[in-house]
A and B are shown apart, each in its own frame.
Chain A
Amino acid sequence: MAELKLPVSEDEIRALHVGDAVELTGRMITGRDAAHKWLIEAFREDVAPYLKDTVIYQCGPVVRKNPDGSYVFVAAGPTTSIREEPYEADVMCRYGLRGVIGKGGMGPKTLAGLERCGGVYFHAVGGAAQVLAHAVKKVERVFMLEEFGVPEALWVIDVARFPVMVTMDSHGRSLHDEVDAASREKLKELLALEA
Chain B
Amino acid sequence: MRSHDRYTEVFLEMLQRASTQLPDDVVAALRRGRDLEEDGSLAQKALDTILMNVDLAREQTAPICQDTGTPVVWVHHPVGVSTRLIENSMIEAVQRATARQYLRPNAVHTLTGKNTGTGSGAGIPSLHFQEWDHPEVEVRLILKGGGSENVGSQHKLPDNRLGAGRDLEGVRRVVLDALVQAQGKGCAPGTLGICIGGDRVSGYEESKRQLLRRLEDTNPIPELARLEERIFREGNELGIGPMGFGGKTTLLGVKIGTLDRLPACYFVTISYMCWAGRRAGVSISEGGDVTWLS
Q: Which residues on A are within 8 Å of B, measured CB to CB? A: 19, 21, 34, 59-62, 64, 74-77, 79-80, 82, 103-105, 123, 125-131, 133-134, 149-152, 163, 165, 167, 175-176, 178-180, 182-184, 186-187, 190-191, 194-195
Secondary structure of the B side of the interface? Answer: loop
- Are B187 and A103 closer than 8 Å at their CB atoms? yes
A-B contact pairs, 12 of them (CB 8 A): A60-B104, A75-B101, A75-B104, A125-B50, A126-B184, A127-B50, A127-B145, A150-B115, A178-B246, A183-B239, A187-B180, A194-B169
Cα A180 to Cα B179 with chains together (Å)? 11
A175 to B43, CA, bound (A): 12
Most buried by B among A126, A131, A190: A126
Do B57 and A187 touch across chains, with their CB atoms under 8 A apart? no
The verdict on A129 contacting B115 (CB below 8 Å), with A75-B104, A176-B183 known, is no
Which residues does chain B contribute within 8 Å of A179, judged by CB atoms?
A: 183-184, 239-241, 244-246
Q: Which chain A residues lie closer than 8 Å to B276 at the CB level? A: 127
How far, in angstroms, from A94 to B173 measured CA to CA in the complex? 44
Cβ–Cβ contact A129 & B63, under 8 A: yes
Contacting residues, chain A, for B67 (C-beta < 8 A): 60, 77, 79, 127
| A166 to B, closest residue via Cβ | B42
Q: Would A74 and B42 count as touching, CB distance under 8 A?
A: no
Q: Known A-B contacts: A74-B62, A129-B66. Give 17 more (CB < 8 A).
A: A74-B63, A79-B147, A80-B185, A104-B244, A125-B243, A126-B184, A126-B274, A127-B50, A128-B53, A149-B115, A150-B105, A151-B106, A175-B244, A179-B245, A183-B183, A190-B237, A191-B163
Q: Residues of B contacting A178 with CB < 8 Å?
A: 246
Q: Does B68 contact A (CB under 8 A)?
A: yes
Asked if B286 is at the interface (CB within 8 A of a chain A CB), the reply is: no
Instruction: Indicate whether A127 sits within 8 Å of B65 (C-beta atoms), given known contacts A21-B42, A163-B49, A190-B237.
Output: yes
The smallest beta-carbon distance between A134 and chain B, in angstroms, is 7
Our count of residue pairs bridging A and B at CB distance below 8 angstroms stands at 168
Central interface residue in A76, A129, A133, A165, by most chain B CB within 10 Å: A129
- Answer yes or no: B234 CB below 8 A from chain A CBs: yes
Knowing A130-B62, A151-B115, A190-B176, say if A123 contacts B239 (CB, 8 Å). Answer: no
The answer to whether A127 and B275 have CB atoms under 8 Å apart is: yes
B56 partner, pick from A64, A134, A183, A186, beta carbons under 8 A: A134
Q: How many residues of B contact A (CB 8 A)?
A: 55
Taking a contact as CB atoms under 8 Å apart, the answer to whether B147 and A59 are in contact is no
Question: Which residues of chain B are near A82, meaning CB under 8 Å?
Answer: 185
Tell me how far the C-beta of A101 lies from the nearest C-beta in chain B, rounded to whole angstroms. Answer: 13
Q: Residues of B contacting A127 with CB < 8 Å?
A: 50, 53, 64-65, 67, 145, 187, 274-276
| A interface, over-half SS | mixed
Interface pair A129/B53, CB less than 8 Å apart = yes
Q: Please tell me if B60 contacts chain A, counting CB pairs below 8 Å.
A: yes
Q: Which of A21, A62, A183, A186 is within 8 Å of B63, CB to CB?
A: A62
Would B62 and A75 count as touching, CB distance under 8 A?
A: yes
> Most chain-B CB neighbours within 10 Å: which of A60, A104, A184?
A104
In the docked arrangement, what's the CA distance between A75 and B143, Å? Answer: 15
Smallest CB gap from B150: residue in A: A80
B residues less than 8 Å from A131 (CB atoms)? 49, 52-53, 56
